[in-house]
A = this chain, B = another copy of it.
Amino acid sequence: MHHNDEHIDELLASRGLRLTRQRRQLAGLLFRGGDRHVTAEMLGREAKLSGFRVSLATVYNTLHQFTRAGLLRRINVDPARTWFDTNTTVHHHFFNTRSLELTDIPQERVSVDVLPAPPVGTTIDHVDVVIRVTPR
């Protein structure tokens, strides 16, 4: 799944998002190709390094808008900050609790049998599997 600049515009437009400079630039960084895991601070820093002018508040807003639009997935794994994943398909993660590195579990080798019924009045939204690892 690789996106060049026109594809980025189509992608945003197809989700009903206005084509602002900041969204295009951030989307360019995020969806350039390959799966990415980012935090707001990381993406802001990367934007700055690329010569883009974006405020951190806008980075946060944009990450949330993209998430609402289904382009990103939030990952709650790290107590100190929120991660966003460009891979929105069903998959799971390794989280290195020492280095704070987040990596995908390759080739979906995790199967979960979800036999239990959810609490009354609720429906299952999403199943998250996080395998916490530490350096040997």
Contacts and interface: CB of A to CB of B under 8 A. Distances in A.
A34 to B, nearest CB: 17
Nearest to A74: B79
Main secondary structure of the interface of A (DSSP, over half): strand
A78 B121 CA distance: 20
Interface string A74-111: 10111100100000000000101100010101110111
B119 A127 contact: no
Contacts of A132: 124-128
Given A76-B76, A77-B76, A82-B79, A123 B133 contact: yes
Given A76-B78, A114-B110, A133 B122 contact: yes
